[in-house]
């Protein structure tokens, strides 16, 4: 499908990203799957290639380009290649906006050069063992004592958790403040009392490190407060639509790639003397998927355009996240079936995608939460 949301400059960037993935990621991804995390070398390579901090000011080593479509292209190409290991989306699409919009000049000088070079890998710690989609249920506390906050609590399911040098931690600074009592603190590698638990053993996405983090009387300098005290929940609500459209668009790109591979397989695979794609049932399944993906692509690209112009609503972002992730899982599941026994072999991309894609209807807000957001927007 022809996509008119990109310029020739975007197309050149996409070609560069594809080359980068072919050279720096694909040859090593199987080993990273076995290791449970990617090498820090790929982060440094991404920094040298200008793939980190695209929207960050050039004086800090960024690209100085405030255009979400560049991040989208990187996310799409990683998804199409089935390279789920590098947690660039967390670092770029999510955390980059927090650092660019909320960090003060001193913080930018301190963090952004390493953030853009890949020397400082970032994570964001929202989810807790007892608080996932309900961010107002956060129990981690940060009590101000002089020029420090004393941080206590635990987080789980944190992407980039093992590798992260900078962790944006969501904590309660005012126990009685409700949603106005939540703040964002940046915890740095090596701070006493900051511990990383096990690298979690997930169903899929094995090359992306996902961790439990604990904070025991961590003295976080007050100078590491990101934005205003008590405004953390508002910042999260403002930035979650960006995270959700990223998850949705990534799921869609991955599903499109698996569909194209399956279409080729159905044209080549012979059964009863003819390609399996010529059986009416298979042809109908392919036709259904092609149509659903085309509809989702038109809706998603429109949402990307709206987001890039600053007009995308929380409800629309929730629609993209819900629709694309659920569709992605349906498409991949049907593609496994069309591959028969081969679809269950990890040497086939469709089998790996079956495991990798399942979480996309969960993280960033579950499908059920997305429907709740949309429903509230309807006034019901």
How far apart, in Å, are the Cα atoms of 135 and each of 46, 53, 89, 240?
32, 27, 21, 11
Dump pLDDT digits (tens) for 207-219: 999 999 999 999 9
The total of other beta-carbon atoms located within 10 Å of residue 44's CB is 16
- Mean pLDDT on 279-293: 98
Dump pLDDT digits (tens) for 154-205: 999 999 999 999 999 999 999 988 889 999 999 999 999 999 999 999 999 9
pTM reported for the whole predicted model = 0.96
List the domain range (segments joined by +) for residue 300: 234-377
Q: How confident is the model at residue 312 (pLDDT cuts 50, 70, 90)?
A: very high
Q: How confident is the model at residue 367 (pLDDT cuts 50, 70, 90)?
A: very high
Q: Return the CA Rg of the chain.
A: 21
Does 178 lie in the same domain as 211? yes
Whether 331 shows a pLDDT value over 80: the answer reads: yes
Taking the mean position of all CA atoms in its chain, how far away is CA 136?
22
* Residue in 128, 243, 256, 316 annotated catalytic: 243
Q: Is 114 within a domain?
A: yes
d(CA 148, CA 144): 6
Give the domain-ending residue among 71, 93, 120. Answer: 120
Give the domain-ending residue among 230, 247, 276. Answer: 230
Asked whether 194 and 187 are in contact (CB, 8 A), the reply is yes
Q: Is 2 within a domain?
A: no
Q: How confident is the model at residue 230 (pLDDT cuts 50, 70, 90)?
A: very high
pLDDT given for residue 130 in this prediction: 81
pLDDT given for residue 136 in this prediction: 76
- Mean pLDDT on 279-285: 98
d(CA 367, CA 350): 23
How far apart, in Å, are the Cα atoms of 24 and each of 63, 84, 128, 343, 379?
20, 13, 33, 27, 48
- Mean pLDDT on 239-250: 96
Q: Is 364 within a domain?
A: yes
Structure tokens belonging to residue 94: 């999510």
> In total, how many domains does the chain have?
3
Dump pLDDT digits (tens) for 28-56: 999 999 999 999 999 999 999 999 999 99
- Mean pLDDT on 278-285: 98
Residue 247 belongs to a domain with what CATH number?
1.20.140.10
Asked whether 37 and 162 are in contact (CB, 8 A), the reply is yes
- Mean pLDDT on 133-138: 78
Does 150 lie in the same domain as 134? yes
Does 372 lie in the same domain as 260? yes
d(CA 15, CA 42): 18
Q: Is 1 within a domain?
A: no
- Mean pLDDT on 236-250: 95
Q: Is 359 within a domain?
A: yes
d(CA 57, CA 48): 16
d(CA 255, CA 296): 11
Does 248 lie in the same domain as 201? no
pLDDT given for residue 177 in this prediction: 87
Whether 135 shows a pLDDT value over 90: the answer reads: no
Asked whether 51 and 107 are in contact (CB, 8 A), the reply is no
Give the domain-ending residue among 71, 90, 120. Answer: 120
**Mean pLDDT estimate for the chain:** 96
d(CA 129, CA 212): 9
Exposed/middle/buried for 361, CB within 10 Å: 0-12, 13-18, 19+?
A: buried
Dump pLDDT digits (tens) for 96-119: 999 999 999 999 999 999 999 999
Does 221 lie in the same domain as 185? yes
Token pair 């053993």 is at which residue? 201
Does 168 lie in the same domain as 87? no
pLDDT given for residue 309 in this prediction: 95
d(CA 152, CA 216): 5
Q: In the annotation, is 24 catalytic?
A: no
Angle between helices 349-357 and 314-339 (to 10 degrees): 140
Whether 133 shows a pLDDT value over 80: the answer reads: no
Torsion over CA: 375, 376, 377, 378 (sign): positive
Whether 2 shows a pLDDT value over 90: the answer reads: no
In the chain, DSSP finds a helix count (H) and a strand count (E) of 12, 10
Whether 336 shows a pLDDT value over 80: the answer reads: yes
Does 163 lie in the same domain as 134? yes
3-class SS of residue 320: helix
Q: How confident is the model at residue 131 (pLDDT cuts 50, 70, 90)?
A: confident
């Amino acid at each position: 499908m022809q996509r008119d949301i990109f310029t020739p400059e975007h197309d050149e960037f996409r070609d560069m990203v594809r080359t980068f993935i072919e050279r720096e990621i694909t040859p090593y991804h199987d080993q990273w799957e076995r290791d449970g995390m990617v090498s820090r070398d790929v982060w440094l390579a991404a920094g040298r290639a200008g793939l980190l901090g695209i929207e960050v000011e050039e004086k800090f080593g960024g690209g100085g380009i405030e255009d979400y479509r560049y991040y989208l292209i990187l996310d799409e190409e990683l998804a199409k290649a089935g390279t789920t290991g590098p947690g660039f989306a967390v670092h770029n699409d999510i955390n980059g906006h927090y650092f660019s919009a909320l960090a003060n000049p001193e913080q930018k000088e301190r963090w952004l050069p390493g953030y853009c070079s890949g020397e400082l890998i970032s994570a964001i710690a929202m989810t807790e063992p007892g608080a996932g989609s309900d961010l107002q249920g956060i129990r981690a506390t940060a009590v101000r004592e002089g020029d420090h906050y004393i941080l206590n609590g635990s987080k789980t399911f944190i992407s980039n958790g093992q590798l992260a040098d900078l962790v944006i931690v969501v904590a309660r600074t005012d126990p009685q403040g409700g949603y106005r009592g939540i703040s964002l603190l940046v915890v740095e590698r090596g701070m006493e009392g900051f511990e990383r638990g096990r690298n979690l053993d997930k169903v899929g996405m094995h090359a992306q490190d996902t961790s439990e983090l604990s904070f025991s009387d961590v003295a976080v300098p007050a100078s590491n407060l990101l934005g205003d005290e008590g405004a953390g929940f508002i910042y999260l609500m403002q930035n979650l639509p960006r995270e959700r459209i990223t998850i949705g668009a990534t799921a869609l790109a991955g599903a499109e790639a698996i569909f194209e591979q399956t279409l080729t397989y159905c044209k080549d695979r012979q059964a009863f003397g003819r390609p399996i794609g010529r059986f009416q049932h298979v042809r109908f399944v392919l036709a259904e998927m092609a149509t659903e993906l085309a509809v989702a692509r038109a809706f998603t690209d429109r949402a990307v355009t709206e987001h890039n112009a600053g007009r995308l609503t929380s409800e629309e972002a929730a629609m993209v996240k819900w629709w694309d992730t659920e569709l992605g899982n349906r498409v991949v599941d049907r593609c496994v079936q069309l591959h028969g026994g081969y679809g269950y072999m990890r040497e086939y991309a469709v089998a790996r995608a079956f495991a990798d894609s399942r979480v996309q209807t969960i993280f960033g807000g579950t499908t059920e939460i997305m429907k709740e957001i949309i429903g509230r927007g309807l006034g019901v």
